[in-house]
């Protein structure tokens, strides 16, 4: 520790040349390195909080705003757990969240720690033949890589696909070329991306449990991949860097829960 203290400036200079993700990992090496990273403010604490303040939770099918389970001694407080400062006619229903950002109904992205929020522009219409599909909504944000975020609309099977000319009940799902819509805060616009499947499909359209408005499926972003809970309890693993995805099938009769640590 004495050696670290004597050479703190040198070590801070070396650590300061690391990429944010590597710097975050270095912070966990030992107490001395963590102190240097924090004392010299090498990480952008406005983007990457160094401690957990609390956890938002909400009940399914309940119109009440979300609640916050928090440590009252935390220095940086989130005072309005109801997110009432956000102007949203659709209420405070949380569709998804990722690394401190929250995605509300009606495409609002909120940072509860800073009370900043923004309404995204409406997504463009789906391509012909996909009008009857609903979407699973995913938020992707990694402050150790970039201050920007992305929102993904991933088509899922809904009731009433009779009018579609693109798919039938025997069609495999998801398709080998899976078209999704992506919003980027960097460009501030939506674009369509086509994901290429690796391996087998999850099943057919007929195998999918139809999407219902009161059923909410969640997604988790982890180390450059998005894990989406699919309609037949399989998992879609989407790799953003190369635009590919694969299906992870669950054992027969098993229920899937997304847990990462």
- CA torsion, ordered 55, 61, 64, 70, to nearest 10 deg: -10
Question: Which distant-in-sequence residues (6+ apart) come within 8 Å of 14 by Cβ?
Answer: none
Q: Which domain holds residue 21?
A: 2-39
What is the number of other CB atoms lying within 10 angstroms of the CB of residue 10?
9
Decide if 45 is inside a domain.
no
Assess whether pLDDT exceeds 80 at residue 213: no
Return the pLDDT at 261: 42
Residues 227 and 140 in one domain: yes
Tokens of 72: 């009252």
Which pLDDT tens digit goes with each residue over 24-67?
777 778 888 888 887 777 776 555 555 556 666 665 555 566 66
DSSP assignment letter at 53: -
Among 29-33, 89-93, 203-207, the range scoring the smallest mean pLDDT is 89-93
pLDDT value of position 95: 84
Would 257 be classed as within a structural domain? no
* DSSP 8-state secondary structure symbol assigned to residue 26: H
**In this structure, are 238 and 143 located in the same domain?**
yes
186 and 215 fall within a common domain? yes
**The total number of structural domains that make up the chain:** 3
Residue 255 lies in a domain: no
The answer to whether residue 46 is domain-embedded is: no
CA distances from 65 to 61, 98, 119, 132, 136 (A): 11, 19, 18, 30, 21
Report how far apart the first and last C-alpha atoms of the chain are (Å, whole number).
30
Q: How confident is the model at residue 157 (pLDDT cuts 50, 70, 90)?
A: confident
User: What is the C-alpha to C-alpha distance for residues 156 and 123, in angstroms, rounded to an integer?
Assistant: 16
Whether residue 258 lies inside any domain: the answer is no
Instruction: Based on the fold, state whether residues 212 and 144 are members of the same structural domain.
Output: yes
What pLDDT, on a 0 to 100 scale, did the predictor assign at position 151? 95
Give the mean pLDDT of 105-117. 84
In this prediction, residue 220 has a pLDDT band, given cuts at 50, 70 and 90, of confident
Q: Residue 162: inside a domain, yes or no? A: yes
Q: Is residue 87 part of a domain?
A: yes
Asked if residue 19 belongs to a domain, the reply is yes
């Amino acid at each position: 520790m004495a050696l670290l203290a004597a050479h703190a400036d040198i070590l801070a200079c070396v650590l300061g040349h690391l990429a944010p993700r590597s710097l975050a990992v270095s912070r966990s090496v030992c107490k001395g390195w963590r102190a240097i990273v924090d004392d010299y403010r090498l990480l952008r604490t406005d983007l990457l909080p160094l401690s957990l303040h609390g956890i938002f939770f909400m009940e399914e099918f309940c119109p009440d705003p979300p609640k916050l389970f928090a440590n009252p001694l935390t220095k940086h407080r989130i005072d309005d757990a109801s997110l009432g400062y956000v102007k949203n006619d659709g209420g405070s229903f949380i569709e998804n969240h990722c690394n401190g950002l929250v995605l509300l109904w009606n495409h609002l992205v909120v940072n509860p720690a800073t009370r900043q929020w923004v309404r995204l522009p409406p997504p463009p219409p789906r391509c012909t033949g996909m009008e009857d599909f609903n979407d699973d909504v995913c938020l992707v944000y990694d402050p150790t890589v970039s201050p920007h975020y992305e929102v993904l609309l991933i088509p899922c099977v809904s009731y009433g696909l009779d009018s579609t000319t693109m798919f039938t009940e025997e069609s495999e799902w998801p398709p080998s070329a899976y078209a999704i819509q992506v919003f980027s805060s960097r460009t501030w616009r939506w674009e369509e991306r086509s994901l290429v499947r690796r391996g087998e499909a999850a099943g057919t359209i007929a195998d999918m449990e139809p999407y219902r408005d009161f059923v909410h499926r969640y997604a988790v972003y982890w180390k450059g991949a998005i894990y989406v809970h699919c309609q037949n309890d399989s998992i879609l693993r989407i790799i953003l860097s190369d635009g590919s995805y694969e299906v992870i099938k669950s054992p027969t009769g098993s229920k899937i829960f997304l847990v990462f640590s």
